[in-house]
Chain A
Amino acid sequence: MSAVTYVIYAFLAINITFNLLGSFSLHRFPDVYTRLHGATKCTTFGTIFAVLAVVVHAAYQLHLTGDPKYLQMALHSLVALIALLLTNPTGAHAIAKAAHLSGYKPVKAVIDAYEDKLRGGAE
């Protein structure tokens, strides 16, 4: 057990915690918008740490063995992380806008600024 192993275990623990929190938030929140908020933020943060654990593991194996397939593994994991970071918030925004436009209002909301903006008046 070297220090790198403990770093990998810490990253995997953060990954498991936040991914499970994101899944549970789908069942604990009352409407679409709060579910989207909890699920998207938590799973994106958890997946960042999953990819970081894989990158640390691959860099350590590259340092130990010198096999170039571990360099390929680290770089491709980073590409997957960048794709996920670019597409996940955009998809969440599109879902929230489509849900609001198709008539699902927020539960127990007092102020709906997007509805006011759609009606064309700021009063």
Chain B
Amino acid sequence: MMAPEFFYAAIIVMIGAFLALLRVFFGPSVPDRVVGVDTLNTLIVAGMVLLGAAYDRTIYIDIAIVYALLSYVGTLAIAKYLQGGLE
């Protein structure tokens, strides 16, 4: 491990991701769960960039780029479905 401070920062970011996951599980309504999933995606991208610096591998950061774009598409699809129909 090249830089341990990035590893500890990624662990604390993942604690925040766990709190967002609790909102996904216990959310009273459907948009609450969608907000939890959106927060979870942003925190996972941040943690993946930090882990790429911690383990000194650039491929983790490339995966973070693809994950950010795909989670955006998923969020838009769920929002379009919520507001009444896909047609």
Residues of A that sit less than 8 Å from B by CB: 8-9, 12, 15-16, 19-20, 22-24, 26-27, 32, 35-36, 39-40, 43-44, 46-47, 50-51, 53-54, 57-58, 69, 72-73, 76-77, 79-80, 83-84, 87-88, 90-92, 94-95, 97-99, 101-102, 104
Most buried by B among A73, A79, A98, A99: A98
Within 8 A of A (CB), among B26-51: 29-32, 34-36, 38-39, 42-43, 45-46, 49-50
Residue of A nearest to B13 (CB): A19
**How many cross-chain pairs have Cβ atoms below 8 Å apart between A and B?**
162
Pick the residue among A47, A54, A94 that contacts B6 (CB under 8 A). A54
Give the chain B neighbours of A98 by CB distance below 8 A.
Answer: 31, 78-80, 82-83
Task: Count residues on chain B whose CB falls below 8 Å from chain A CBs.
Answer: 46
B65 near A26 with CB under 8 A, answer no
Chain B neighbourhood of A22, CB < 8 A:
16, 39, 43
Instruction: Please name the 9 residue pairs, one residue from A and one from B, whose CB atoms are nearest each other, closest first.
Output: A23-B16, A87-B72, A99-B31, A94-B79, A23-B19, A98-B82, A98-B83, A98-B79, A101-B83
Given A23-B20, A44-B42, A50-B49; A83-B68 close (CB under 8 Å): yes
